[in-house]
Chains A and B, each alone.
Chain A
């Protein structure tokens, strides 16, 4: 290997492979270098107190009513002054979720795994509830599979131009696996807490 052939990484300086000059880049790419100066790039989140007015006219936002009893991370001092209200805790999933929030900080895997378990229970509860209400889940239509009509559902699978082909075969297994995994984890947590 002659010295000129030694790749850039092994020597102090060499032109970069594929390098174009700034003038070439400016001609080819609209706006090239418009924000060249790193000091003149707004909004990188370094702690910065010299900011435009946010429009806030409070030092602490007014407290939204209805926060009593709402679940919160135990890493918070209180229920935040503003919060979402769209799906309050209810049913068995609510019990699981409330336990996850009241017992474990965000730093604990149990917190998140219990929430995932709560999600699965919620889906099961909601399916049953939907049937009782006379508006059962339309299990096929809700997957949106109808969209495949006219966009080559078979050819796209054969030619691998879609992103779900390689894992379709294992979907039936994995639909049930989170249940089993979450149940095992949940049981171990319950046992540990009882002890």
Chain B
């Protein structure tokens, strides 16, 4: 089969690989019909995530058709069209039993601090991802779900991470009616977080980014006010001015480890890999939120320490909330919102890329060229 294959930082190629096999009785093999490139794939692509091995296939956002099932699989059959949450989890460990599906203890031998994620380095378990023609889906009775007939397949694809994560970030913010919500980052997750903040009753939603085309999308798609941080000497001061010196009630960090904006952080973190990523966005969140407010972190950060302004968080009495989204817990409510017409996730897709051209796709997305917001990858084995 054809698969996206990592060759080192900024280098990928499409290779012939063996079709994955059933390795555990609970596995399924899924023929991928659509995959996506995610902002957090860029951390891998840039060589920022420890133990990303040459030869691995990325891609934790995908949907497909069940091709084969292991002897223990009861809930799926060959031919089912499934959406697969990016979390691999067992459903029964101490953490899963309490709903922390993204923190499963039974699927990632390489680390205890993070669960299993498709195509996300050995730090997340060493599984291949879905930017390929076929993918191994472990514990297939738990994660995947048959795509409902009335749900568009691109919408289903976006629910495997970006939409579910954005909605989750708004939830972590504990938004109450009338709150001023600031979202850092106008990528897919930020756009969905902004949109979700309205559903939860936000009174004002402000999205911050530095790329005009992404801010335009935030105004049009997410009905948000926007600020381009590149136009201000100090975006935190501007935020305070705009909120009558209060600060935001809730700030959602939808940027993560590769924030631009501070050269020293950029060099030590995203370039020299001496920090778990640049915490510029997180520090803006801590500075920009009001005292007693809530910071919700969705952006991916690596396991290496980062220079976070923890003293300010303490002195301001902040609530800091964060996790990888337990994706499948979001789906029932998100289906309702999509059916009601409140959400149309596929509206953010800007590029459809054949799997053969995925190196170009990564480059476009990484450099933010050609108005790229969300790129969907189309494998050829259909």
Contacts and interface: CB of A to CB of B under 8 A. Distances in A.
A45 interface: yes
Interface string A113-141: 10110110011011100000000011101
Given A144-B12, A166-B260, A82 B106 contact: yes
Contacts of B107: 80-83
Nearest to A10: B245
A43 B329 contact: yes
A184 to B, nearest CB: 11
B370 A30 contact: no
B80 to A, nearest CB: 13
A103 interface: no
Contacts, number: 321
Given A38-B176, A71-B110, A82-B24, A9 B246 contact: yes
Chain B contact residues: helix, strand, loop or mixed: loop
Contact of B24 (A44, A62, A177): A62
A73 B111 contact: yes
Interface stretch (B28-36, B48-56, B152-160, B311-319): B48-56
Nearest to A162: B367
Interface string B314-329: 0000000001001001
A49 B94 CA distance: 10
B10 interface: yes
B105 A44 contact: no
Contacts of B62: none
Contacts of A177: 271-272
B242 A17 contact: yes
B368 A162 contact: yes
Contacts of A83: 107-109, 125-126
18 contacts: A19-B204, A34-B340, A35-B201, A45-B99, A48-B99, A59-B92, A64-B24, A71-B110, A71-B122, A86-B53, A106-B112, A106-B113, A118-B51, A144-B12, A147-B359, A147-B360, A170-B267, A174-B267
Interface of B: 7-13, 23-26, 47, 50-57, 72, 74-75, 88, 90-92, 96-103, 105-113, 116, 122-123, 125-128, 138-139, 141-142, 168, 171-172, 174-178, 180, 196, 198-201, 203-204, 210-213, 223, 225, 242-247, 260, 266-267, 271-274, 276, 290, 302-305, 323, 326, 329-330, 332-333, 337, 340-343, 357-364, 366-370
Given A57-B74, A82-B24, A115-B51, 9 more contacts: A7-B246, A16-B178, A18-B225, A47-B98, A57-B141, A71-B122, A81-B107, A119-B50, A171-B271
